[in-house]
Amino acid sequence: MSERVVATGLVAGALAAAWLRFDAQAVILGWLVIVSCIAGAIASWILQARRLPSVQLPAIVEELGQREKLTSEEEGRFADALRAWHRDRQDNAFREIARRGPGPLITRRAVLYFLWLSLVILTVVPPAAVPATFLPGLARFIVVALTTAVIAVAVAVPLGIRDWRRARHAVGD
């Protein structure tokens, strides 16, 4: 399942749970919806992780890692080779982040923050906190969802841009 489908499912589940909590007065059903969405996302992430290729360490690291005891020289070579491999992997990841721009970082964070804020709101905010007369003709869950989305995006944008800039500086652009 693609990342976009999982994100859409999480947001849709949070919206449905907010509707159930604030407009349909079905607190337990709202919790069941949000928990099932989280469980579905976790299952999807586990399935995606299983399809990833296994980590290929350098031959020297594999060879020295098999031994029971290492001399101080071998330990130094092992550590240096592992550091070099890690640095290379990190540079590749930073290049990919710098190439894609801040958009994917912001989107992922905003969805995650929206989900967690929805959980907090479902737990803490009583339905009476948003009176039905607040904006007549507009469902109360929309007011809650829009407020939650604005907060999530307001936090995700500067953090996503910050991380993207760090990745750009790390690769030397």
pLDDT, one tens digit per residue, over 130-148 is 777 777 777 888 888 888 8
Residues 9, 86 within the same domain:
no
pLDDT surpasses 90 at 84: yes
Secondary element (H or E) of residue 87: helix 72-100
109 plus 162 within the same structural domain: yes
Q: Are 68 and 115 part of one and the same domain? A: no
Asked if 112 and 37 sit in the same domain, the reply is yes
Q: Are residues 67 and 37 in the same domain?
A: no
Q: Between the CA of residue 77 and those of 60, 65, 71, 91, 101, what are the distances in Å? A: 8, 11, 10, 21, 36
- Asked whether residue 74 falls in the same domain as residue 44, the answer is no
- Note the pLDDT tens digit of each residue in 93-125: 899 988 999 998 898 899 888 888 888 888 888
pLDDT confidence bin for 37, thresholds 50/70/90: confident
The count of structural domains within the chain is 2
pLDDT at 173 over 60: no
Residues 22 and 72 in one domain: no
CA neighbor of 170 nearest in space, from 104, 57, 88: 88
DSSP for residue 57: -
Residues 6+ apart with CB under 8 A from 33: 13, 16, 17, 20
- Cα–Cα–Cα angle for 27, 29, 33, rounded to 5 degrees: 115
pLDDT of the residue at 1: 61
Range(s) of the domain holding residue 120: 3-54+101-171
Do residues 42 and 60 both lie within one domain? no
Identify whether residues 41 and 59 lie together within a single domain.
Answer: no
For residues 152 and 68, membership in a common domain is answered with no
pTM, two decimals, is 0.73
